[in-house]
Amino acid sequence: MGRSVEEQEMRSEGTVLISAFLGIVWWVVVAAAAATEFSPPPPNSASTLRAEHQGYRVTAVNEFADGSGFVAALELIKPSETYGADIKQLSMVVRNEEDELLHVHISDSLSPRWEVPQELIQRPVPLSLLHDQNTLLQHHRNLNSQVPESQGELDSTSSDRLLEFSYTSAPFGFSITRISTGEVLFNSTPVAASPSSDDDDHGVIDDIVQSFSFNSMVFKDQYLEISTQMPKTTSLFGLGESTKSKLQITRGRTYTLWATDIGAYNVDIDLYGAFPFYMDVRQGAAGASHGVLLLNSNGMDVDVNEDFLTYHIIGGVLDFYFFAGPSPLAVVDQYTKLIGRPAPMPFWSFGKQQF
């Protein structure tokens, strides 16, 4: 009888050890999969894309009757096969949803794409999603009198709007400006890269001037890319959720938004949620702040460089919301008004019953 009890205890201990071992193996596999599931594009592919890609051009614009915005048709300038085939025809909806909120929505003109469901975040539906896509695009092409010049903007002189939208037609790029100060808050138009002294010495400065610091907008089925110029003196906060050594976003590094549902005490580990939102606090006497939300639930990398910021996204649409602020508190108020307010905590959770 004693031997039988000992055998049962040994079997029980063995079962516990095996279960613990399998649990450890499972967590290792999950962590490894999370780390490798979404990784930055290979350097050689990125350079190939930059050499091939020429962006989009604006072919037609149709303004809303109330003057709150417009719908524009975008057409691919030159296709490239890096990261898959380009989506050739896009529809862009620009609208002032409120005086302090500007909405820019860019998607496929012919086929619907995945977006954050309305049931999760109640928000105005872009006009392009309420009509037949083929009819809408054909209507744009027939607006010969409204084909834009090399530059255009959204009229904001007849209201109390705080933000102004403007664009360049070819290659397409857009900018958001604070009307009261004229300060540019977001600008996706590529700028010429500055040559280094070594390049000047070797006589290749002309080739360097023709290169750009980042690509024009890229829109493929499973790869989207868009960048914005960024002042070197600005302070950025957001792009969670991850463990960080400090709240401020660090220049010269990549932030990955890929919810792994793994808690960690280590720095720079993805946690339970993804929040593609950042607050930009500008230097100066006013210290004006604004917020930028890219409402996209796909995995993404956000490269924060010294003078520009780039999104690399593996699907969905470009659905931007720009919050005018101008104070940090106002930015948070406008942001949570759109996505939903945090639920108030009950008094007992703070230990009030112990007082």
Q: How confident is the model at residue 66 (pLDDT cuts 50, 70, 90)?
A: confident
Question: 9 vs 213, which has greater pLDDT?
Answer: 213
More confident residue, 11 or 190: 190
| Comparison of pLDDT for 141 and 74, the residue scoring more | 74
Supply angle C-alpha 351, 352, 353, rounded to 5.
90
CATH 3.30.70.1560 fits 46-339, yes or no: no
Q: Provide the mean pLDDT of the chain.
A: 79
pLDDT band at 17 (very low <50, low <70, confident <90, very high): low
Residue 345 has a pLDDT of: 83
- Using the predicted structure, report yes or no on whether residue 297 has a pLDDT greater than 80: yes
pLDDT over threshold 70, residue 137: no
Structure token pair of residue 290:
């604004």
SS3 assignment, position 180: coil
Average pLDDT over residues 316-328: 96
Q: Are 100 and 176 in contact (CB under 8 A)?
A: no
Examine the pLDDT at 26 and tell me if it is beyond 70: no
Write down the pLDDT at residue 252.
92
CA 144 to chain centre: 33
Residue 212, phi-psi category: left (phi > 0), alpha (psi -120 to 50), beta (remainder): beta
Backbone angles phi, psi at 310, to 5 degrees: -130, 135
Q: Which residues 6+ apart lie within 8 Å of 304 measured at CB?
A: 230, 236, 239, 249, 250, 251, 252, 253, 254, 255
Task: Provide the pLDDT for residue 351.
Answer: 79
pLDDT at 180 over 50: yes
Q: Is the pLDDT score of 246 beyond 50?
A: yes
Q: Which of 69-73, 121-125, 238-242, 253-257 has the lowest mean pLDDT?
A: 121-125
> 278-291: per-residue pLDDT in tens?
999 998 756 799 99
**pLDDT (average), residues 313-328:** 96
pLDDT at residue 262 in the model: 78
**What average pLDDT does the segment 232-240 reach?**
92
Dist. CA 168–CA 191, nearest whole Å: 13
